[in-house]
Amino acid sequence: EDQVTQSPEALRLQEGESSSLNCSYTVSGLRGLFWYRQDPGKGPEFLFTLYSAGEEKEKERLKATLTKKESFLHITAPKPEDSATYLCAVRTNFGNEKLTFGTGTRLTIIP
Amino acid sequence: GAGVSQSPRYKVTKRGQDVALRCDPISGHVSLYWYRQALGQGPEFLTYFNYEAQQDKSGLPNDRFSAERPEGSISTLTIQRTEQRDSAMYRCASSSSSGANVLTFGAGSRLTVL
């Protein structure tokens, strides 16, 4: 069974303090790893897709990387508006089009 | 429309009643997904449509849950004989094509079963 584990569950950072969120996965045949951002009371919002080990994607203060066992979401010099829950999800060869999500990391940036 | 629209936003019902949750996807989006999200958890897959065809319903918890998308646009998720354990946020998402990377999620329908 596909498993996605995110850590830490919650992270509090001072504004400007860089850090990384982790997503480890155990799947049969990865067909894509996805990062979404979710603000309170809203649906998840797409950030990145990664397909193969070594791939990296960047958007503003966020950079996502992928290895064969895990993905990292690096946040550089975060601002309070980066506060949200960050969700990782996988799509596999045998799961059709469904995404299997982790439980998320709740990120709080303190001004 | 500009985004994925779900209704009702909030539904409170008594145990044993049937409920219908509606999803209006982004215009032209071929694929439509239903997920369920418990508080503090990630979304959990329920079912998926490509046009009007239900391609995967492996995530539906039991036969009280059903979904349809008769004209390939609006979809309805129906829960019969609701139970307290059905209480959750039900989210719909759509994408422009099958296998597309970007799912656009709606704001969800929060179901509370008393």
- Comparing CA positions, the residue from B51, B13, B12 lying closest to residue B30 is B51
The letter for the amino acid at A37 is R
DSSP single-letter state for residue B97: S
The letter for the amino acid at B46 is L
**Does the beta-carbon distance from A103 to B58 stay under 8 Å?**
no
CA of A85: how far to CAs of A19, A94, A105, in Å?
Answer: 15, 27, 5
DSSP helix/strand/coil, A82: helix
pLDDT (tens digit, 9 = 90+) per residue, A45-58? Answer: 999 999 999 999 99
Q: Which of B91, B99, B106 sits opposite A97 (nearest CB)?
A: B99
- In whole angstroms, give the CA distance from residue A52 to residue A33: 9
The letter for the amino acid at A111 is P
Gyration radius from chain A CA atoms:
13
Residues 4-63 of chain B whose Cβ lies under 8 A from any Cβ of chain A: 4, 31, 33, 40-45, 48, 50, 55-56, 58-59
pLDDT (tens digit, 9 = 90+) per residue, A67-102? Answer: 999 999 999 999 999 999 999 999 987 657 889 999
What residue in B sits closest to A9 (Cα-Cα)?
Answer: B40
**Does the beta-carbon distance from B33 to A101 stay under 8 Å?**
no
Q: Please, are residues B77 and A73 in contact by the beta-carbon 8 Å criterion?
A: no
**Which residues in chain B show pLDDT less than 70?**
1, 98-100
Residues 54-113 of chain B whose Cβ lies under 8 A from any Cβ of chain A: 55-56, 58-59, 91, 93, 98-99, 101-108
